[in-house]
Amino acid sequence: MKNSLTSPHLQHETFRLYPPVTGIPKYTAQTPQPLTISSRKHLIPPHTMVIPQVLALHTHPAHWTPDPLEWRPSRWISPHSPREHDRQPTTKLDHETLKEPQRGTFLPWSDGAHVCPGRKFSQVKFVAVMAALFRTHRVRPVLRAGETEARARERVRGVVEDSAVRMTLQMKDPGRVRVRWVLKEGVGRMSGGSNDPC
């Protein structure tokens, strides 16, 4: 891949297609609230519950082109010139920033005054966990008898896409896929390390 991918790119793209919460209940205030959709103005009555459908926003072709239904973390990379920094860039990552989507098109933590208070914590935790897990290992599906690696990847994707909303978005039957941690090439075995399936 031409651009460098970091944990924030992976997290944002994963939450874009698989948001933890698919609908965010909001209420209008004590007065009617104007809403404009495709240049048509609507008036929402006071004390009305409105539930923006997060997945529809996250995959709308007007905001997520090309291929809005494809998992593509590179869509979050925004190159910038060295002039935008006080210092000269020293690495490829110094030339890139996390792209900010148009307001109202990416809501995995909600938005506005009622944004999730755990947003920053979850972002930092995601980076830390991903760095720890994938520093020395990769995860691979456990192959079934006669199954190819490509077929196993298709099976995993099918399980991931077979999701349902309970309290949060969840795979219906994650037990249909077993994975194993595989030591990266060129990395010595850690004490207590294992390639056993989970």
CA distance readout (Å), 42 to 35, 82, 130, 173, 190: 5, 45, 44, 41, 61
pTM for this structure?
Answer: 0.73
> What residues pair up with 182 in beta bridges, in sequence order?
138
Tens-of-pLDDT digits for all 198 residues of the chain? 344 567 889 999 999 999 988 888 888 989 999 988 889 999 999 999 998 899 999 999 999 988 999 999 999 998 765 555 455 555 555 667 889 999 989 999 998 888 889 999 999 999 899 889 899 999 999 999 999 999 999 999 999 989 888 778 888 999 999 999 999 888 876 545 555 566
Q: Where are the domains of the chain?
A: 7-112, 136-198
Q: Are 141 and 177 in contact (CB under 8 A)?
A: yes
Q: Are 48 and 32 in contact (CB under 8 A)?
A: no
